Chain A
Amino acid sequence: MTETNELLIDLSGVRKFFRAPDHSDRIVLEDVNFELKQGEIVALLGKSGSGKSTLLRIIAGLIGANGGRVLYRGKAINGPVRGISMVFQSFALFPWLTVQQNVELGLEALAVPPREREEQALEAIDVIGLGGFESAYPRELSGGMRQRVGFARALVMRPDVLLMDEPFSALDVLTAETLSGDLLELWLERKIPTKGILFVSHNIEEAVAMSDRVLIFSSDPGRVKAEVPVSLPHPRDKDSPAFKALVDQVYAIMTQRPLRTVGAEPLSLGYRLPSATPHKIEGMIETLIEPQFNGKADLPALADELQLPDDALFHLLEAGALLGFIKVDEGDAILLPLGRTFAEAETTDRKSVFAQQLMAHISLASHIRHVLDERRDHRAPEGRFIQELEDFLSDDEAERVLEQVISWGRYAEIFDYDYTSGVLSLPEEEDQEPPTEDVAAE
């Protein structure tokens, strides 16, 4: 076997951008280099919006890259490749086809004779543990069983490379663990012909438990930030110190740079504000002040206590850090003095602390407030701000970010929003007051 044959997937200098409506380019992936070797499982971790799923789709041949090389066994990928199969987060089963028809779909598309494809489909269904459900429709199955159909449909193609886009994230914890355990068993016992697996995950523990390497993505633009090899033997004990140390290490890397703290240069207007409701932020800070943590919490422990998935936790941590309530250091969340003040204050005082921090550190919030102050009727349509944000972000992301800042602004009572008309305005009782006095009063 030659050197190139050992490499299933070989990416170098991959670049991807999407064209914004104003013809400017938004870079999603920049200079991504990656190799998938025979016999390994690789996990991709990263903040939402870091381009992991885009990368997976480029390898799948569903979308093209704008630059760089994308090779499968030394040949350029130009479309969906025969040797590569994929499992989807949402299962993506055809609801009008039975389990068996769904599994046969790919073989049917390639014009495999009926007898042969039936044989192969039944075998795949059996291997994945769905024997007896061949004639069921997806709507009759539970989420976990549906994803098993998704696996059977991918595996019946006898893929060299199996791609998985957050395959377990739509399932409950127990189901997810059973299913990933089953898959790992098939892989370790060589019951499936697949030679390499690449999967996107948002769950650090799951990534460390399954893979031989964890790749961590940074966002804006997305690129591989760090790589953590996992050489623990299977089966891996999630409570072992070695396992826990690896999980801690990944947490620490993931919270290294993107968590900005107060005092750094002001955020740009188009900064991707994290998704975290004010009440969740309150909840996190109240948890941190509890005696068991006393102002400092190990991230896995905090995730456990708050019962949040990792990506939601990261959003929450970032929000807390942006507002100057906490900082994150070496995989620990640490409550800052202002956070303590916030936690101990009454509702109205909390709101004014929140407002003050919002005006001082979140440039989008202060920008909106200034625009409203300057306008004679103190009103402005949301479309105006969305347009400004679209210079930096995709349409959907621009709307999400504005929605986020509106939720914070409403909580802080620095501006108001009418859903029906889509108009932002100053809160009614303080129409006349300029906002700076409001903050100074605090």
Chain B
Amino acid sequence: MPRTIIPAAVSLGPSLRPNAWDLAVLPLALAILWVLAFGSAQMTTPYNIGDPLPISLDPGELPYYLMRSFLRMAAGLVFSLLFTLVYATLAAKSRYAEKILIPLLDVLQSIPILGFLSITVTGFIALFPGNLLGVECASIFAIFTSQAWNMTFSFYASLRTVPHDLEEAAAMFHLSIWQRFWQLELPFAAPSLIWNMMMSVSGGWFFVVASEAITVNSQTITLPGIGSYIAMAIAEKDLSAIGWAILAMLIGIVLYDQLLFRPLVAWADKFKFESLPGEEIPTSRLLDVLQRAKLVRALGAIPAFFWEWSLVLFHKRTDGLSKSGEKSFRLPWFDRLWTVFLLGLAAFAVYRIGDYVRAEVGLDEVLHVFLLGLITAVRVIVLIAIAAAIWVPVGVWIGFRPRIAQTVQPIAQFMAAFPANLMFPVAVILILHFNASVEIWTSPLMILGTQWYILFNVISGAMSMPSDFRAVADNLGLKGWLRWKRMILPGIFPSFVTGAITASGGSWNASIVSEMVSWGDTTLMATGIGSYIADNTQKGDFPRIALGVAVMCCYVMLFNRQVWRRMYRLAEERLRID
């Protein structure tokens, strides 16, 4: 990948004398290095459970907290990327691995992210006794789980759809497996992988905030960061501190966008397989500067050298005529044996889990939790319906007016990235003030952050609808409901489904923090599976956390299969405009 920024042959000497662009890049590079060094040193300070981790509400401390949260996000992203490259490649290349990895991924992405945190935190702490790194790892792991799965699915899907003629060309021109990965598969997958990374980070802020204040065995550990700052502000009922935190968060999101994603998206544009006519080409000022600065070239020469060297090292040595040609082994009975083995393994796992749950909590409780899940499911459905009823007309109205859309679209995307849990205290104050029903009025919190996915997808759907359609509708005099039924709704349906899938998944995840909210020492609790998990996490009741997480996972999978996948297929097959 570095080949495009850095020419293959970098010669040292006069050509490396710094130029004007380096003046801009140098401070940036030094700042990043300092943040990395300082931040990672802070991550590994000694710590024992029970030690107090004081969080100061002084706004002057916020840049430091922001930096810590920023680094956690970056670490989560790096691990997600590594995981994606290995896991998806394995699944796409080996039929045997695929049979186990893909269903497993399907289950993993249905598990509520904060459930992972509740379950894994004790393990991570045990891994690094007497050090804060264990808790840091748990938090980073939660961020990782919020990002890795959809990136992996996207990369796997890309690997499976590499155009056949390019694969043939790669074989014909003797590319080895290693060369093919770097020269064909990764570049082909890059645009959608980067888009998914962007979406992942956008969803990830929510979990950065939620995962910094971790409760283990009734002990709350507050990692220095924005999330802990908020938790502290809530406990202290300090509204102005919450205001400062929101401002810091805004800056954090903008920084990520400007420093990382804009340059990445602009750079990845060249990998797009085909660009639609009239499509805007993404640009990034920072990328221009980076590409012109010689310092970057000099720094990039090192990985570029290793990259080129690995391509030479792992080149194909067969000439196509020797007897030891590539023969793939394929034994039908081994296929069957493998399937039987996997099914046996799955059956055994289900049996053990069932046994464990029955021994620890009893069947009555299981039924009770399924009922709680149903209540949360009803909330999710109703909220998505309400959000759709509001945002579809608004999104269409905006999308049909390109000038307005251009300003609203980035705002909607920003709102989706903004961690809605920052707003929860406001809701508690309002509910207490109006003495409103907790069961009903905590529900909107679930969709507070995720509704924006519906909005910005509908806007982009409406924007991309061919203007011919509207001209025809005008020409035929289509008005009112008929216009919506025949033209607008079918036209935006595919984009709506994409948005609604994200919104629904996010809402299930959010239910863990939104069905149980606090302000100072007041805690409001709505009935549902989210509050069940949250409550048991605070109590440290491990079997009940596991039960809650497993049941929610079942509901999410059922939802995905029965509702979303069908709608997605309908949208793909029938309502695609091409």
Contact = CB atoms under 8 A, between A and B. Distances in A.
Interface residues of B, number: 38
B175 interface: yes
A264 interface: no
Contacts of B311: 108, 111
Interface string B169-211: 1011111100100011001000000000000000000000000
Given A94-B183, A111-B312, A137-B270, A80 B171 contact: yes
Interface stretch (A36-44, A85-93, A336-344): A85-93
Chain B, interface SS category: loop
30 contacts: A60-B172, A61-B320, A62-B168, A72-B321, A76-B323, A78-B322, A78-B323, A79-B318, A79-B320, A79-B326, A80-B174, A80-B320, A81-B320, A82-B174, A86-B168, A88-B165, A94-B166, A94-B169, A94-B183, A95-B272, A96-B271, A97-B183, A109-B175, A109-B315, A109-B316, A110-B174, A110-B315, A111-B311, A111-B315, A157-B173
Contacts of B319: 81-82
B273 interface: yes
Contacts of B172: 60, 62, 80, 85-86
Nearest to B573: A420
Contact of B165 (A72, A92, A110, A137): A92
B168 A94 contact: no
Contact of A109 (B174, B272, B322): B174
Contacts of A291: none
A420 B318 contact: no
A280 interface: no
Contacts of A153: 173
A94 B319 CA distance: 23
B325 interface: yes
A108 B184 CA distance: 13
B347 interface: no
Contacts of B163: 92
A221 interface: no
B184 A94 contact: yes
| 7 nearest A-B residue pairs (beta carbon) | A78-B325, A106-B173, A81-B320, A92-B165, A92-B169, A79-B320, A75-B321
Interface string B297-341: 000000000000001100110111111111000000000000000
By size class, the interface of chain A is: 35 or more
B476 interface: no
Contacts of A419: 574
Contacts of B217: none
Contacts of B315: 109-111
Contacts of B175: 105, 109
A407 to B, nearest CB: 19
Nearest to B3: A101
Interface in B1-37: 4, 8-9
Contacts of A81: 319-321
A266 interface: no
Contact of B321 (A77, A91, A95): A77
A28 B175 CA distance: 28
A21 to B, nearest CB: 13
B219 interface: no
Interface in B115-164: 163
A96 B316 CA distance: 22
Given A60-B172, A106-B173, 12 more contacts: A62-B172, A78-B322, A78-B325, A81-B319, A92-B168, A94-B169, A109-B176, A109-B316, A110-B316, A111-B311, A137-B270, A419-B574
A227 B311 CA distance: 45
A114 interface: yes
Nearest to B4: A96
B522 interface: no
Nearest to B325: A78
Contacts of B312: 111
B106 to A, nearest CB: 24
B275 interface: yes
Among B9, B183, B322, chain A packs the most CB atoms within 10 A around the CB of B183
B320 A77 contact: yes
A420 B173 contact: no
Given A94-B184, A114-B9, A419-B574, A109 B179 contact: yes
Nearest to B184: A94
Interface of A: 57, 60-62, 72, 75-82, 84-86, 88-97, 105-106, 108-111, 114, 137, 139, 153, 157, 419-420
Contacts of B318: 78-79
A110 B318 CA distance: 10
Nearest to B187: A96
Contacts of B187: 94, 96
A9 to B, nearest CB: 13
A325 B139 CA distance: 75
Interface string B84-124: 00000000000000000000000000000000000000000
Contacts of B574: 419-420
A76 B320 CA distance: 9
A90 B183 CA distance: 19
B561 to A, nearest CB: 20
A46 B275 CA distance: 35
A77 B326 CA distance: 11
A149 B272 CA distance: 19
A399 to B, nearest CB: 14
A105 B322 contact: no
Contacts of B165: 88-92
Contacts of B326: 78-79
Contacts of B322: 78
A61 B312 CA distance: 23
Interface in B556-578: 574
Contacts of A88: 165, 168-169
A106 B175 CA distance: 7
Contacts of B169: 86, 88, 92-94
Contacts of A92: 163, 165-166, 168-169
Nearest to B574: A420
A255 to B, nearest CB: 30
Contact of B320 (A82, A111, A139): A82
Nearest to B269: A96
A24 B289 CA distance: 61
Contacts of B173: 80, 85, 105-106, 109, 153, 157
A76 B270 contact: no
A361 B9 CA distance: 69
Interface in B337-360: none
Contacts of A80: 171-174, 320
Indicate the member of B8, B171, B272 with the most A CB atoms within 10 Å.
Answer: B171
A82 B273 CA distance: 29
Contacts of B168: 57, 62, 86, 88, 92
Nearest to A61: B320
Contacts of A95: 270-274
A194 to B, nearest CB: 15
B282 to A, nearest CB: 15
Nearest to B322: A78
Contacts of A79: 318, 320, 325-326
B87 to A, nearest CB: 24
Contacts of B174: 80, 82, 106, 109-110
Contacts of A84: 320
Which one of A85, A90, A111, A137 has the greatest number of beta carbons of chain B within 10 Å? A111
A13 to B, nearest CB: 20
A153 B273 CA distance: 20
Nearest to A72: B321
Contacts of B9: 114
Nearest to A150: B169
A205 to B, nearest CB: 26
B183 A105 contact: yes
A419 B576 CA distance: 14
B186 to A, nearest CB: 10
A114 B316 CA distance: 17
Nearest to B321: A75
